[in-house]
Structure 1
Amino acid sequence: MATGTADTTIGAARAASPTTQRVQATLARRRAAETRFRLIGLSAVILGIGLVALLFASILSRGLPAFWQATLTLEVYIDPEIVDVSPAPDAAAFDSQAAYEEAFLGWQTELARTNWGRVLRNALLAYLPPEAAESGRAVEGLIASNERFELRALIQEDPGLIGETITFQGLADANIDVWVKGNIDRSLPDDRLPLTSDQRAWVEILLEQGVLTQEFASSLLFNVDSRSSPASAGLAGAFVGSLFMMLIVIVLSVPIGVAAAIYLEEFAPRNRFTDLIEVNINNLAAVPSIVFGLLGAAVFINWFRLPLSAPLVGGLVLTLMTLPTVIIATRSTLRAIPPSIRQAAIGLGASRVQTVAHHVLPLAVPGILTGAIIGVAQALGETAPLLLIGMSAFVAQVPASPMDASTALPVQIYLWQGNELRNFFEARTSAAIIVLLALLLSLNTIAIILRKRFEKRW
């Protein structure tokens, strides 16, 4: 009992000593600082995730409605008195292919001269009050102007439809779509509204009859851009242009960047010249992208005379911009490979090239793919350099090759954002952003799958 009491007395004396108290106070402050640091870090992560979620929620909430568009489903009578054309030429009735093509071209000209707007107007009048016939132009304004060409293409494909009644589904005018979705302040005076009072009344009638409905807007994905018919403007040309550019970037920047990084990291001697190269590569990674656009316009267009607005030029410019990122990321990956692997391979008699090719490079593939993902993602979203090489020009066709004129998804987003029909194109701009993000995520998914497949542990 005496010994236990003595130990207790000594422990109490130590606990009460100034040194012990200072140590305990220091530990308490350190624990409190660690707790605050963890809370700050956790708060930063939560804030970052929240802001990203808010961004995606904003884009989705604005863009998803654009994938559904006001559509008119009409019973259209192909009146022979209006579609007054000669019978379609039969190839078997001509002695040569040239004669048939000439006759077919003349028949196409007859179709083009037909008043297809009148055919559609007559179909619409069947659902509207009789007095609507006095406002022919206003009635035709209910349907997108591009639908006249769609109807003509349908008859050109099957001339036997002339004289028949067909079910035709066409896009409503852009202002009709905006009005139906409620993107216009309906309390504005009549002179500030895009629709006349008669058109607004007709829209309500068509909605009640089920003629005007919201359907999936396939035109957004499969049509090209249009200035004459905003309702039918789509992303097909810009999407294919971006794909061509990304293929060029992947084919050029990844092999060249990886080869340059391997040489600089594994084979290049350490001297002032290689130091200068490394400094310049690091500086190029920080150069504004618009400078690469100026370089591309000066070299590829003015000097090499490559076609303006071509995906080939855009891909070359983006390749130059992406190379520093790929080189830096690849070199960092190579440095992370343990030196013991190189030493073991050389010790077993492998040459320097064999060591890199058979031991170092396979282990570095996941990191190299990560650098490629970063570089391609950066290139896919660039707009400024593409504007300087003419890819902001209006192109109403899908490019068939990298040499054809085209635009790109970021440029199309930029153009739509500045369109004067803002109420309609604001949602369409967000929809284009969704398509761009989907393309980016698809490319990243492919790269991640490849990275996982080649990943090795040591």
Structure 2
Amino acid sequence: MIDPKYRTDDHYDDDLSMPPSSPSSINSTINSTIELVNKNLAKRYAAEKRFQVYGILSIAFGLFCLLLLFTDIISKGIGAFTIHYVQLEVTFDESVLDINDSSDAMQLALADYQGVVREALKKRFPTVTHRPERRRLYSLVSNGATYHLQDLVQEDLSLLGQTRTLWVLLDDDVDTYLKSREDRSGPFIGRLKSEQIEWIESLYKEGEIESRFNRWFFTSGDSREPEMAGIRGAFIGSLLTLLVTLALSFPVGVAAAVYLEEYAPRNRWTDLIEVNINNLAAVPSIIFGLLGVAIFINFFSMPRSLPLVGGLVLTLMTLPTIIISSRAAIKAVPPSIREAALGIGASKMQMILHHVLPLAMPGMLTGAIIGMAQALGETAPLLMIGMVAFVVDIPTGITDPATVLPVQIFLWADSPERAFTERTSAAIMVLLAFLIIMNTLAVWLRKRLERRW
């Protein structure tokens, strides 16, 4: 017997009593549903097209800004790769040079080479007789000309007493004027006097001024004279600093990643370590500079402005990046590789060294190179440890005083001389080229060493 509460006879009878739907009403319902779906699809397609357009416009705007930035940097810095020289008849008069004994190396080093340059200028412009005018005439030639003449005499002592036609370096103000003389729309704004411009124009018309490749920019260190300033010291300082950083951060970072992924137990302590590593990757770089000052300089009493100290500070900064990328590369290795190695009798150490690390190495190297590129562009932590010092000599080791390219750019950008503007942009071009090469190397290594399974 059926319980009355489960009876549905009344409802069943009600359903049977309802009249059936007509075919026309069913078709109208279907058509309205299709129209509604098509309308919604049209809106969705339009929204998707707008989203694609927004994405394309964003990419185009980013590329435009990047192109504008590169154009501005290149247009300002391309002039630093050329420099102007003037042709002079130089007489290496021993009385002017104040050399009594040509075999004395000290006399050769301290000789008055600037005096013979002045004599050559007086011979070229004999009408300039007043002392103020002569000072302005002498200022047309750079102080670097004396070093050039000194090198020539020390290499060939037979030049003493002879007259040679030489090309000597012009001053930075003259170089700036000559580079802007053809494209300037108004009067030249600079420190040159009208009479100096007349002398320059006369030399230029006679073909005694020539533009050449600026070898000083790549072969010399920093200088207070813009025409003699170069990036060699900063470039070698950057290389030495990066070598120290790579030698310390890569093995330590890989070892930490292997321990955390393969050996460390999952507990609150390892979770705390992982959280701290992720947080350190987002810490401002100047904090690492303060840490370097407190530990390496104040506590260990290490000298400032050394590539060794800079490398130690940058190691602390790049370690989180290398550890995170190395852990991601180790995680990407399939578990079947580990199981297969252990299944054929390999120990855990053999499994890691012979199977996991070779497969994870492309990702590790990519992360390391990206970390090195990040370290190459850092300025704030190196400023804190004193690598902002004015260093003229080229460093030969990690314990020699040095600076780096970003700091050199910072120093030149703060200089009042107009010629340092193009040196700053040219140094930025070199730094960007270095970064592009490092990132290209990272992509190439990843493709070269990548293994498929």
Answer whether TM exceeds 0.5 for this pair: yes
Question: 1:419 and 1:290 mapped to 2: Cα distance?
Answer: 23
Determine the structure 2 residue equivalent to 1:316: 312
* Structure 2 counterpart of 1:345, from 341, 347, 353: 341
What is the percentage of aligned positions where both structures have the same residue? 49
Native 8 Å contact 1:74 1:169 kept in 2: yes
Query: Which of the numbers 53, 63, 66 marks the counterpart of 1:52?
Result: 66
* Aligned with 1:395 (options 391, 397, 411): 391
Cα deviation, residue 14, structure 1:
6.5
Give yes or no for the alignment of 1:42 onto 2:56. yes
CA distance in 2, matches of 1:82, 1:166: 15
What is the CA distance between 1:195 and its match in structure 2? Answer: 1.2
Identify the residue that residue 6 of structure 1 maps to in structure 2: none
Question: Where do 4+ consecutive residues of structure 1 move more than 4 Å?
Answer: 183-186
**Deviating more after overlay: 150-159 vs 235-244:** 150-159
Match of 1:439 in 2: 434
Name whichever of 338-347 and 231-240 sits farther off: 338-347
Task: Rate the CA distance shift 1:37–1:246 in 2: closer, same or farther, 3 A.
Answer: same
User: What residue is the counterpart of 1:213 in the other structure?
Assistant: 210
Unaligned runs of 5+ in 2: 1-22
CA distance in 1, matches of 2:55, 2:333: 29
Instruction: State which of 426, 445, 449 in structure 2 corresponds to 1:454.
Output: 449
**Is contact 2:338–2:355 with CA below 8 Å preserved after alignment?**
yes
Of the three residues 179, 191, 194, the one matched with 2:191 is 194
* Amino acid of the structure 2 residue aligned with 1:391: M
The answer on 1:278 being equivalent to 2:274 is: yes
For the Cα contact (< 8 Å) 1:253–1:322, is it kept in 2? yes
Measure how far apart 1:233 and its partner are.
1.0
47, 72, 93: which one aligns with 1:79 = 93
2: CA distance between counterparts of 1:88 and 1:179?
39
**1:168 CA displacement:** 2.4
Does residue 262 of structure 2 align to residue 248 of structure 1?
no
Task: State the Cα distance separating 1:269 from its structure 2 match.
Answer: 0.6
1:131 is paired with a residue whose SS is coil
| 1:185/1:244 CA distance change after superposition, 3 Å | farther
**CA shift at 1:16, angstroms?**
6.0
SS in 1 for 2:100: coil
Tell me which amino acid in the other structure corresponds to 1:306.
M
Tell me if the contact between 2:94 and 2:100 (Cα under 8 Å) persists in the aligned partners: no
Q: For each residue in 1:368-391, what CA deviation from the matched residue of structure 2 results, as whole angstroms up to 9, or x when unmatched? A: 122112211110000111111111
- In the alignment, what sits opposite 1:160? 158
Cα displacement string for residues 153-185 of structure 1 (whole angstroms, at most 9, x for unaligned residues): 221221110111223222211111111122889
**Superposition deviation, residue 444 in structure 1:** 3.2
1:38 offset after TM fit, Å? 2.1
Unaligned segments of structure 1, at least 5 residues = 1-8, 90-106
Does structure 2 retain, via aligned residues, the 8 Å contact 1:132–1:139? no
C-alpha contact (below 8 Å) 2:86/2:167 kept by paired residues? yes
Shift of 1:17: 2.0
Counterpart of 2:10 in structure 1 is none
Alpha-carbon RMSD across the aligned residues, in angstroms, is 2.3
Measure the CA separation in 1 of the matches of 2:141 and 2:207: 15
- Greater Cα offset, 347-356 or 155-164: 347-356
Q: Is the 8 A contact 1:342 1:360 kept in 2?
A: yes
Cα deviation 1:195-249 (Å, max 9, x = unaligned): 122111111111111222221111011111112x332111111111001001111
Q: 2 CA distance for matches of 1:165 and 1:290? A: 56
- Residues 32 and 426 (structure 1 numbering): CA distance in 2 closer, same or farther, change over 3 Å? same
Say yes or no: does 1:21 pair with 2:35: yes
How far apart are 1:288 and its partner, in Å?
0.8
Between structure 1 and structure 2, the one with the greater Rg is 2
Change (3 A) 1:19 1:132: farther
Distance, in Å, in 2 between the alignment partners of 1:242 and 1:61 is 25
Q: How does 1:366-377 map to 2 (within 5 A)?
A: 366-377=362-373
Q: Deviations over 1:399-433 (max 9, x none)?
A: 11110101111000000000011x21111100011
Contact 2:128 2:134 in 1 (8 A): no
AA at the equivalent of 1:127: R
Residue number in structure 1 paired with 2:4? none
- Cα–Cα, structure 1 residues 330 and 180, in superposed 2: closer, same or farther, change >3 Å? same
CA contact (8 A) 2:305 2:402 kept: yes
Give the corresponding residue for 1:170.
168
Question: Which among 137, 140, 144 is matched to residue 138 of structure 2?
Answer: 140
Q: Which residue of 2 aligns with 1:103?
A: none
Question: What is the alpha-carbon distance in structure 2 between the residues aligned to residue 341 and residue 216 of structure 1?
Answer: 56
Name the CA distance, whole Å, in 2 between partners of 1:42 and 1:372. Answer: 32
1:378 is matched with which residue: 364, 367, 374? 374
Q: Is the Cα–Cα contact under 8 Å of residues 14 and 20 in structure 1 kept in the other structure?
A: no
The verdict on how the C-alpha distance between 1:348 and 1:19 changes in structure 2, with shifts beyond 3 A counting, is farther
Q: Secondary structure at the match of 1:207?
A: helix
- Give the Å deviation of 1:109: 3.1
Deviation, structure 1 residue 440: 2.2
Q: TM-score, normalised by structure 1?
A: 0.88
